[in-house]
Amino acid sequence: MTTYYSKDHEWIAVDGDSATIGITTYAQEQLGDVVYVELPEAGKALSQGDEAAVVESVKAASEVYAPIDGEVVEANEALVDEPAKVNEDPEGAAWFIKMTVGNSDQLSDLMDEAAYKAYVETL
């Protein structure tokens, strides 16, 4: 399993032709206390850059974008009832969606962990 990162602060853990997507610790820190999460239905087709989910904190509302093309397989409904999980374990239990990898070439548009860390340093 390899984890990639986007400039919009999503992480995507790819395992063969399925992927899990969430927001990074940095994103969670910037948002502050998350109070609301809106997730897509399973089966929804997403293109790279499409709005996949919405996350709202006391400070701001923000979109979670699909880092690659694919179809939503499962959404983490537990976040809807307990949005605080996004603050507690953003890169683990608080994943947002699982999706298929529609186009693995698009993964090369993303960063690895080291590159993402360096990117966050510049912000």
Partner 1 sequence: MSMNTQGRPTAAGDVGETFRPKTFTGNRGLDMEEPLIFEFGSLETTGVDLDEDESAEFELGGFKRTAEIGLAGLAEPEAMRHYVRLSRNNYAIDSGLYPLGSCTMKHNPRLNEKMARLPGFADIHPLQPVSSVPGALDLIDELAHWLMVSTNTSAVAMSPKAGAHGELCGMMAIKAAHTAAGRDPKIVLVPESAHGTNPATAALLGYKVVSIEAKDDGTVDLDALKKTIAEHEGNIAGIMLTNPNTCGLFERDVKQIADLIHEADAYFYCDGANFNAIVGKARPGDLGVDAMHINLHKTFSTPHGGGGPGSGPVVLSERLAPFAPLPFIRKTDKGLELVETEAATKDGEQPFGRMTAFHGQMGMYVRALSYMMSHGSDGLRQASEDAVLNANYVRVGLQDLMSLPFGERPCMHEVLFDDSFLKDTGVTTLDFAKAMIDEGYHPMTMYFPLVVHGAMLIEPTESESRAALDLFVATMRDLVMSAKRGETERFSGAPYLAPRRRLDETGAARKPVLKWTEPAPAEVTPAAAE
**How many amino acids of this chain bind partner 1 (CB under 8 A)?**
9
> Would you say 60 or 78 has its CB closer to partner 1?
60
Q: Note whether 45 binds partner 1 by CB under 8 A.
A: no
| Maximum separation of any 2 CA atoms in the chain, in Å | 37
**Rounded to a whole number, what is the distance in angstroms from the first to the last CA of the chain?**
28
- For partner 1, which residue of 59, 74, 112, 113 counts as binding (CB under 8 A)? 59
H helix count then E strand count, the chain: 4, 9
Q: Note whether 78 binds partner 1 by CB under 8 A.
A: no
Identify the helix (H) or strand (E) that includes residue 87. Answer: helix 85-88
Q: Note whether 84 binds partner 1 by CB under 8 A.
A: yes
Beta carbon of residue 67, minimum distance to partner 1 (angstroms, whole number)? 17
Q: Are 72 and 19 in contact (CB under 8 A)?
A: no
- For partner 1, which residue of 15, 29, 33, 109 counts as binding (CB under 8 A)? 33
Instruction: Quote the CA–CA distance of 23 and 57 in Å, as a whole number.
Output: 13
Beta carbon of residue 86, minimum distance to partner 1 (angstroms, whole number)? 12
Binding site for partner 1 (CB under 8 A): 33, 35-36, 56, 58-60, 83-84
